[in-house]
Amino acid sequence: MDILNMPIVKEYLRTATQLYNHGWAERNGGNISMLMDGDFSDMPVLRTIPFSFDAADMIGRCIMITGSGKYLKNVEADPENNIALLRICDGYAELLWGLADGGKPSSELAAHLLSHSARLKADPSHRVVMHTHATNAVAMTFVHSLDEREFTRTLWGMATESIMFFYDGVAVLPWMPCGTDEIGIATAEKMADRRVVVWAHHGVFGAGSTPDEALGLIETVDKAAQFYMMTAHLPVLQKINDSQLKEMAAVLGITPRPGYID
């Protein structure tokens, strides 16, 4: 299979560059994974990579994921050293392609695999999980309540298209050590009924059917957070109010997360 010429893989590679260009991927910050459709059964197993969490639902699925410690700015120019194609097995992954320099998959493999499993149950078209250090969304976790309803309501109130694209709300996890099974499990629990999870003082996880869609979703969250951060210290004279949010939802024919609009 000519992996690098698959249009969805080209989009994946381009997205890594776009995350860097946003200033959200300093050093090795951030990681991207994508469920791969297609038959990879003829690819030899290059090596196996153990993991310690239970990803039973994902056994047999193939994913593309960035490597641990790899810089997203280098992914597009040198995919073979910076990303991996993995087949998930029981307690380990088979490396089918990539990580040619001997690297490992992202340290956030648990959050990625378990979030894929959660999102697939909610949406069969789901394919992509993206973690990035979105500047304004992270900044907001220092000055705003981490209550999910309050956090979401603030973002909905800051930009008209917020409720359009994250009507299901934004989940928030309190600070936790990253790169652990625990934060992976906690992230996936939130992903069961939402597509955005903010990690306080760290970054954002977003999910979508394509790399563009997952990135676009995080962009809408970060833009609203940017408006908040630009105005939080100023006397705010007006914002989008609850009746306007309801009006917008009616125009769009969407159901915002129940209980979030008074």
Active site residue 108: yes
What's the closest the beta carbon of residue 129 comes to ligand 13P, in angstroms?
A: 12
From 50-58, 64-72, 89-97, 167-175, give the range in contact with ligand 13P by CB under 6 A.
64-72
* Coil, strand or helix at 64: strand
CA distance 236 to 58: 47
Is residue 69 a contact point for ligand 13P (CB under 6 A)? yes
From candidates 157, 203, 211, 256, binder to Zn ion by CB under 5 A: 203
Report the partner that residue 106 touches, choosing among ligand 13P, Zn ion, none (CB closer than 5 to 8 A by kind). Answer: ligand 13P
Strands across the sheet containing 31-36: 47-50, 92-98, 83-88, 62-66, 31-36, 128-132, 203-208, 196-199, 170-173
81 lies in the binding site for ligand 13P (CB under 6 A): no
Backbone angles phi, psi at 218, to 5 degrees: -65, -35
Of the residues 76, 80, 94, 108, which is catalytic? 108
Question: Choosing among Zn ion, ligand 13P, none, which partner's interface includes residue 81 (Cβ < 5 to 8 Å by kind)?
Answer: none
Q: Is 108 in the site for ligand 13P (CB under 6 A)?
A: yes
Q: Which of 1, 95, 79, 3 is nearest to 44 (CA)?
A: 95
Footprint of Zn ion (CB under 5 A): 203
Question: Which are the catalytic amino acids?
Answer: 108
Footprint of ligand 13P (CB under 6 A): 28-31, 66, 68-69, 106-108, 131, 178-179
